[in-house]
Structure 1
Amino acid sequence: MPTPESNTLKSQYAEKVTADLERNTAEQERIRTEIASLEEQLSGLEQDHELLVGMRAALGGTATVPTPRGSGRKTGTRVRSTPAKAAGKKVTVKTASATKSASAKKSASAKKTSGAKSAPAGEKPRALGDLIHEHLSVDLEPRTAGEIARALTTAHPHRNISDNLVRTTTERLVARGQVERAKQGSTVYYTASTRDDSATTAAPADKEPASADA
Structure 2
Amino acid sequence: MSAQEIPTLKSQYAEKVAADLDLNTGEQERIREEIASLQGRLAGLEQDHALLVGMRAALGGIATAVPAPRTGKKAATTTTATTTTATTTTAKTTTAKTTTAKKATAKKSTGRKTTAVKAAAKEPAKAKAATPKEKAAAPKEKAVASKEKQVPLTELIHRHLSGQAEPKTAREIAQALKTAQPDRSVSDNLVRTTTERLVARSLAERVKQGATVYYTALPHHGEAAGAPVAAEEAVAGKETENTPVPATT
Give the TM-score normalised by structure 2.
0.33
Which structure has the larger Rg? Answer: 2
Give the TM-score normalised by structure 1.
0.38
